[in-house]
Chains A and B, each alone.
Chain A
Amino acid sequence: MSAFDALNGVEILAVDGIVAVGALGLLLADVAMPAGNKRILGYCTLLLLALGFTATFTLDLTGTALGGAYVGDGFAIWCKRIFLAAGFFGVLGGMDETARIGPRRQGEYYQLLMMSLLGMTLLAGARDLILLMVSFELMSLPLYAMAAWGGIGTYPKRKGPLPSMELPAKTKWHRPAEAGLKLYLVGAVSSVVALYGISLLFGIGGSTRFDVLARTMNAGPVMSLAVAMIVGGFAFKIGAAPFHMWVPDTYQGASTPFVAFLSVAPKAAGFAALVQLLLGPLAGHTDTWMPLVLALIIVSLLVGNLMAVPQQNVKRMLGFSGVAQMGFGLMALLAAGTVAHTSGQKSEGLATLLFFLAAYMVANMGVFFVIEAVAASGRTEDETADEKDSDDTLAVFRGLHARSPGLALAGLLFVLSLGGIPFAIGFWAKVWVLLGLWTAGYGWLVVLAAALSAAGLFYYLQIARSMYMTPEGDLPKVTARMELGLAILLLALLTMAVGLFPGPVMEAARVAVGLG
């Protein structure tokens, strides 16, 4: 293959190109422009992401490039839309917070975000182990830094090592640093484990290309080992139990708008990677991976729903609830795998997964933005993100319906969507996942999941209760800043509109995976 052959079909990389060029352009612009008004970079990022998002609709991105290492299909394009939309909302909703944490260095945040997004979009189309792992890491590395964003510490006044880890109440303690470190430690271990599994996969398949691997791999203990390591490694990224330990801590510690992004986009990417591998070269070996996925589902549902109940910090609570939600995503994957196994065909399961990821993105980002709007109203200018522990406890939502009716209504909508109440987008996601699972023959799992999600309502409703059924006391009125408010409004409209008319979106998802 010559260098020119390799470039055949490279036009399907248009969206990735926009993101990559955007990231580098932002870097250059950041260096070139004076430190005064870096906020413009944020708007540029929005523009670029909107451009990329539009391009997924206007350009024909289907085909293969680089001799099959990169494939553009409906699933990949749909995933890219989710990533770009999550990036867009993440930037829009976080603009104020980013500028507040580091007014002169906010450009770097956007560059990192774009690089991470590039990793995600590449991941969605990767059909090659090397590209898969490189893009996976490209996605992860900036996230570590972004999680620690704002946790740039100052030296404590005292000299010498701390006598104990119990810091005095007055001392600043740096939640973002801890959030980033935990994400990093668990992430690095997980990704090296996944790499080990992938190296074994390469060993038994003799190639890095998925299409070749699908033909050459034979089941056996080594494959089981490799698959277990890969599933475990990627389960970290989607935050499925027991690889979820970083989730609540990082959610609580990192800045809220970033968490809004972190809680949806990389998870969707993790699912894309899992789908790529498990329903690609491993589609013929469902016996090997389905028990593992099943185990992850059960543990995630139990741990997520159970641990969320006693949480008083909303971000922690949402972290655990996210673990349970990922159980639902894995259920869609399981259903898809079963159908692929029995009939060898694409299934509703994949379309359901896409719809679920989109629904989860919309509602989850919305909730985090509402939290951010409430917390931001209580902050003064010179505070850093980590100074107030009480920023996001349930109590700050007291009587929100009186302090800001619109925000409370949006919050209620998002929470109901996450809880799976009808007429919100999340309900349909849950119903379709469960329906697909039922038809795939996992009736008992459907019953378990339905029961646990009913239990899960309990903690989602705690938020609603705090907003609507507690007196506001002397808490101040809340007004979201313009960008944040716009993000919340858009997400709320999406939640409601798609909740009322889920048909077209679901139909689009089905078309994307080659059905209908």
Chain B
Amino acid sequence: MIAVNAEVLQLLLLLSAALFSLGVYGVLTRKNIIGLLIGLELMANAVNINLVAFARHQGGTAGQVFTLFTIALTVAEVAVGLALVILLHRSRRSTETDAAAQLHG
């Protein structure tokens, strides 16, 4: 175990920033919706790392509880997202975002 001092905190925050940016990249460049959801998961993971880092730095319970909640939120969100993917696949036989581009203008 390692105590989260200012240095470690800084490292973790930068890690989280990097993961978040990777998630942004994934979300922006993936055509496949499941691929896109992977990017989303990376972004959510970055949030969790942030929270854990702060929680361990400050020492209270709130941050860890918060992380618990965000993990659950993300899982729930992904579950609904995958259901929508299946729905899309059923009506268009495709899981690419561009399959849902009939409404525009």
A interface residues with partner B (beta carbon < 8 Å) = 129-130, 133-134, 137, 141, 144-145, 148, 151-156, 160-162, 165, 167, 173-175, 177-182, 184-185, 188-189, 191-193, 195-196, 199-200, 202-203, 206-208, 248-249, 252-253, 311, 316
Residue of B nearest to A192 (CB): B43
User: Considering the complex, which residues of chain B in the window 17-32 have a beta carbon less than 8 Å from any beta carbon of chain A?
Assistant: 20, 23, 27
- Number of B residues, CB within 8 Å of A: 47
Is the CB–CB distance between A188 and B40 below 8 Å? yes
Among all A-B residue pairs, the 7 with the closest Cβ atoms: A153-B91, A203-B54, A199-B50, A174-B91, A249-B103, A178-B100, A153-B90
Least distance between B36 CB and chain A CB atoms (Å): 7
Chain A binding site: helix, strand, loop or mixed by DSSP? helix
Is the CB–CB distance between B47 and A167 below 8 Å? no
* Cα distance A184–B99 in the bound complex, in angstroms: 15
Is the CB–CB distance between B47 and A179 below 8 Å? no
B interface residues with partner A (beta carbon < 8 Å) = 13, 20, 23, 27, 33, 36, 40, 43-44, 46-47, 50-51, 53-54, 58, 60, 62-63, 65-66, 69-70, 73-74, 76-77, 80-81, 83-84, 87-88, 90-94, 97-105
Is the CB–CB distance between A137 and B77 below 8 Å? yes
Is the CB–CB distance between A134 and B69 below 8 Å? yes
Residue of B nearest to A194 (CB): B47
Is the CB–CB distance between B87 and A177 below 8 Å? yes
Is the CB–CB distance between B90 and A155 below 8 Å? yes
Is the CB–CB distance between A165 and B99 below 8 Å? yes
* Cα distance A182–B88 in the bound complex, in angstroms: 11
**Residues in chain A near residue B97, CB distance under 8 A:** 181, 185
Is the CB–CB distance between B87 and A133 below 8 Å? no
* Cα distance A196–B87 in the bound complex, in angstroms: 29
Residue of B nearest to A200 (CB): B50
Least distance between B92 CB and chain A CB atoms (Å): 7
**Residues in chain A near residue B104, CB distance under 8 A:** 249
Residue of A nearest to B37 (CB): A188
Is the CB–CB distance between B100 and A181 below 8 Å? yes
Is the CB–CB distance between A165 and B101 below 8 Å? yes
Is the CB–CB distance between A196 and B103 below 8 Å? no
Is the CB–CB distance between A148 and B87 below 8 Å? yes
* Cα distance A386–B66 in the bound complex, in angstroms: 40
* Cα distance A252–B69 in the bound complex, in angstroms: 34
